[in-house]
Chains A and B, each alone.
Chain A
Amino acid sequence: MLAALIIVFREVFEAGLIIGIVLAVTRTVPNRSRWIAGGVLAGVVGACLVAAFAGVLSQLFEGMGQELFNAAILGVAVVMLTWHNVWMARHGKEMAVELRAVGEAVASGSKSLFALAVVVGLAVLREGSEVVLFLYGVAASDGGSAIGLLLGGLAGLALGGAVCLLTYFGLLRIPPRALFATTTVLITLLAAGMAAQAVAFLARANWFTSLDTVAWDTGWLLSEDSILGRALHTLIGYTDQPTEMQLVIYAAVVVITFALMRLIGPRRSRHAVVAP
């Protein structure tokens, strides 16, 4: 039972962190619960589909379907997160401070919510498909241990939910003035980390193997498999053996995000960019 708990918790941990961040980012947006719940639901449905067709998916692209699918999912999430950041740089000020016509705020808020709901859905889909496969395997096997394993799995899911709430309430403790800047940085690094992960998947599929040399190994300092290592892996893309290409892409996403925020951000006066 404990083994099942750990296996499931490890998978839902990442999705829990991401949902917690998204909840904090959207705390002032009306109707956000509906969007995020929709994202989670779509993610669960998607996870079941991916699990059901895992065998087929695996055989695509000469056996590299899983890797390319993961890379594509991460790529879409990176675009959505970057778009959200740039969009917030332009409209965040109006939304948070002026709150002009309520209707307009809702309309513009839902545009950005859509991007984040997609990010939530993809995170659930990616992590969830493994949970579904594992629990299905457990349920399909006979013997009395199956019930214990299922209970363990459910407890793991609940713990993942707890991670999500902890992240959310932890971020809400940050004073509102600093929260916007904090979440902008968080989302940028989240996106950069996902882009670096996508590079790793492409390299494993032998699709993109340029600069595939490990730049350094910090495994002695912080293993990627420790709890902290895993949390940082999700949050900022920490990996103990990054390849050169991963570093290049990571830096590129950070630079491009801030460049776009500067270029597109200020609508009227330059002062409007400053976080509320």
Chain B
Amino acid sequence: MFAPIIPRKVTLAALCVSAMLPLSAVQAQEATELQVTYDGQFQPGELRAPAGKPIVIRVKNNSGKAMEFESHSLKVEKVVSAKGEAVVNVRAQKPGRHEFFDDFNDKARGTLVVE
């Protein structure tokens, strides 16, 4: 009597999960990986990435203070603890220039060029 109810729920859940999973798997495959280190300034000061692909930025903070990697136009902000590392995911972008900075130190700025 209850049998038809449960499989239906299970199918529904499976559908929802399968609808979400392939997307993230595809994204993880194609992403462009970039690396930037921070020690009061960003090194390198300019990053380059192709348009239309998700971007993964690995931020390594070599300074003794926490910093916040932030970009308004890329819609990312992430605290990186002192001597710590963080991964910032950026969704696929159109060609353009994006400024990023340390939210705790407005003198430290860099650019991501998407082309």
User: Which residues of A come within 8 Å of B, CB atoms?
Assistant: 3, 7, 51, 54-55, 58, 62-64, 66-67, 129-130, 133-134, 136-138, 140-141, 200, 203-210, 212, 223-225, 239, 241
Contacts and interface: CB of A to CB of B under 8 A. Distances in A.
Given A133-B104, A206-B89, A58 B65 contact: no
Interface residues of B, number: 28
A206 B78 contact: no
A62 B89 CA distance: 12
Given A58-B86, A140-B64, A212-B91, A3 B106 contact: yes
Contacts of B103: 7, 130
A137 B40 CA distance: 12
B81 interface: yes
Interface secondary structure of A, over-half rule: helix
Contact of B75 (A133, A200, A205, A206): A200
Contacts of B78: 58, 66-67
B39 interface: no
B46 interface: no
Give 8 nearest A-B pairs by CB, closest first: A137-B65, A55-B81, A63-B87, A133-B66, A54-B81, A55-B84, A134-B104, A209-B23
Most buried by B among A133, A210, A223, A239: A133
Interface of B: 19-20, 23-24, 27-28, 64-66, 68, 72, 75-76, 78-82, 84-89, 91, 103-104, 106
A152 B89 CA distance: 32
B55 to A, nearest CB: 12
17 contacts: A7-B103, A55-B81, A55-B82, A55-B84, A58-B81, A58-B84, A66-B79, A67-B78, A130-B68, A133-B81, A137-B65, A141-B65, A206-B28, A207-B24, A209-B24, A224-B72, A241-B75
